[in-house]
Homo-oligomer: A and B are copies of this chain.
Amino acid sequence: MSHETVYAELTDWIKRVHALGSVGELLAWDEQVNLPPGAAEQRASQLAALAGAQHAAASDPRIGAWLTALEGEAASLTADQKAVVKNARRDFDRATKLPEEFVREKAAQGSRGYHAWARAKAGDDFASYAPVLARNLELAKREAGYLDWAGREYDYMVDKHDPGMTAAVIGGLFDELKRDLVPLVKAIAASKLKPRSDALRGFPIDGQRAFLREVTQRLGFDYDRGRIDVSLHPFCTGTGSDVRMTTRFKEDEPLDSLFSAIHETGHGLYEQGLRADQLGTALGIHAGMAVHESQSRLWENQVARSRGFWRCFEPRLRELFPRQTQGVSSDELYLAINAVTPTLIRVDADEVTYNLHIILRFELEKKLFTGALAIGDLPAAWRESAEGLLGLTPPNDREGVLQDVHWSDGAFGYFPSYCLGNMLAAQLWYRALSLRPDLEKDFAGGDFTWLLGWLRENIHAQGRRFDALQLARRVTGEELSPRHLVRYLRERYGRLYGAEGEKGWVERAEG
């Protein structure tokens, strides 16, 4: 067989495996959005059956034969084909190198771990959770070993979510970011300007829903190829022409549903921008969690917290909710949108302090993997870091080391993606501004097409041909760096809160 024929067979099969995976995602979406309360057990059986079928397809020996054949003819392959083969090898190794016994054990431990975490958090009882963490750490290391990452176990966990990324790279970036961010947060905390926490109250759900739909559609989300529903926690799943976002509505927190929906819209735009004929191959799959997060954060923060954006949408908000917005000035509204209040809880954090929450977790995770930190010392280490980074001391472990679900099922190495995504978002933003300085004027006129087109071409349509570091270099002409994020946070928040030696609200007059 010619290598073109082998390549065609490989990609056909990969797309099929991916389609099975996307069915699993649909089941997970359905579970959050539609599942009758009594159907959990039956759904678990469906998921198990599907996982078995998908694993059988993903580990089909023919894939190995096709890959070996193509790897032997690398010189004849195009760059795109090489990227596809490389990613397929990665997936195939992960599907075949883990012993079945190990996979079962890990799945069972993940489920046990989740329940142990929920109990420990409810009872503020870290001691009962410590053995779970120890076991999860051990399983993670064994997993890295099976996949030939022995000695680089934490790098393996990082690479799993962000292909090509390493702990050393992240460490360098985070150290630099921390240096600039901690003083900025302190200055903002010292500002006399305080957002009114009760400014926006009593927004009827139907109106919120209509506004949110208008906004997300205007940003470019294609509702012919996606939808939005309600779930307990907002998320975005699906790909290509079937992207499903969720949000939640609270009458007294209209900004919560709006901004979480815009965040998910950023994820959704990325998935809708992948090449439809290549879904599942490296040409039609996202580049990793950091790049994914860069897209959600860019739309949520750089775009939707900007003056230009609100010049477009504030009048419509007041039109839809005249009574609720009557006593709220434009400045108060903008300050509510850009409220900064250090908190102990990551998921409640604003976009400035959020990064410090991530740095805290990354530093602890890394030490757990090297053995520099014992699990028993984790609560104290967490408290100390929280004081140093956030200036806040957790009164208990529930608001400290027990707050996140991630580690309970062994999802180490995931947290850094959030902050890397923020960095990349800011870096992309300034590159876009340098190409089109009037971007905010576009926004004020309700036009987001240039930005989306630019992201489509430079990020979305690239799929996984490049990793996050390569993408940053190619699209912005320089290495990934935290300085753009720092600049952005200073320009937006430093000025707003008068925390950079300037008067607060300066930008208001110019804006």
* B-binding residues in A (CB < 8 A): 15-17, 19-20, 22-23, 26-27, 30, 34-39, 41-43, 45-46, 48-50, 52-54, 56-57, 222-227, 240-243, 276, 279
Contacts and interface: CB of A to CB of B under 8 A. Distances in A.
A254 B204 CA distance: 29
Given A16-B52, A17-B49, A41-B241, 5 more contacts: A22-B46, A23-B23, A23-B50, A30-B30, A36-B227
A240 B42 contact: yes
B19 A45 contact: yes
A346 to B, nearest CB: 32
A239 to B, nearest CB: 8
Interface of A is mostly: helix
A38 B227 contact: no
Contacts of A22: 46
Nearest to A37: B224
Tally of this chain's copies: 2
Nearest to A224: B38
Given A53-B53, A53-B54, A54-B53, A23 B46 contact: yes
A213 to B, nearest CB: 14
Contacts of A23: 23, 27, 46, 49-50
Nearest to A19: B49
A475 to B, nearest CB: 28
A242 to B, nearest CB: 4
A46 B30 contact: no
A30 B26 contact: yes
Given A23-B50, A241-B39, A15 B224 contact: no
Contacts of A36: 223-227, 241-243
Contacts of A226: 36
Closest 10 CB pairs of A and B: A19-B49, A53-B53, A39-B242, A38-B224, A38-B225, A39-B241, A16-B49, A38-B241, A42-B241, A19-B46
Given A39-B241, A48-B19, A241-B42, A227 B34 contact: yes
Nearest to A226: B36
